[in-house]
Chains A and B, each alone.
Chain A
């Protein structure tokens, strides 16, 4: 069993719809949770960063962390074709300088 599980997709939605992404994990020591967006042949770009449980909102993006269920989510409202990319969840035990454990990534396609 992988430490972090993520549905690979692809997830296809019409423009304007809400995109819902999630990851489950097994290591209860994870404290820091991140979502990255990766366009083809590019490095990952940090979208959301959350410490411990709770919700965080930034523009069209909302990240949720439920440590009791070992489950994290990312919601993208009013999706745009430019949101088409692979979304990677990542998490770490410690803070600065600690290595990340990534999920496998979910490929998202937003159709105009």
Chain B
């Protein structure tokens, strides 16, 4: 299947700082990418839809000024958690439609674990 890569896989930062997470589609182009957040023992919750060349679409309750999304190219989307606080500590996962044999098939990155001290 298609490969989606995330970096960093884990990051620890101090409260008040900003953290950037990258999501790359390695062997295909993705005009759309999805960013999810997963708290321990909970399911994935969609945060926003990243659109190449235009503004991201945020889900209800997700602060767009706190979670900045940039989709500058067909293979890269970034999520920046601004002024991070301990409650932002979570597992952030991106995904992209891979254009595989199944229409609508989504491929996920390995996730990025953020810990805010």
Contact = CB atoms under 8 A, between A and B. Distances in A.
Describe B's contact surface by its main secondary structure.
strand
B43 A97 contact: no
A32 B97 CA distance: 13
Interface stretch (A14-22, A42-50, A74-82): A42-50
A100 B46 contact: yes
Interface in A33-91: 34, 36, 41-46, 49, 51, 88
A95 B43 contact: no
Interface in B23-82: 31-32, 34, 41-46, 49
A105 B110 CA distance: 17
Contacts of A102: 43-45
Question: Which 6 residue pairs of A and B lie closest in terms of their CB atoms, listed nearest first?
Answer: A95-B104, A43-B108, A95-B103, A49-B102, A104-B43, A102-B43
Given A51-B103, A92-B104, 8 more contacts: A43-B110, A44-B44, A44-B108, A49-B102, A99-B46, A100-B34, A104-B43, A105-B43
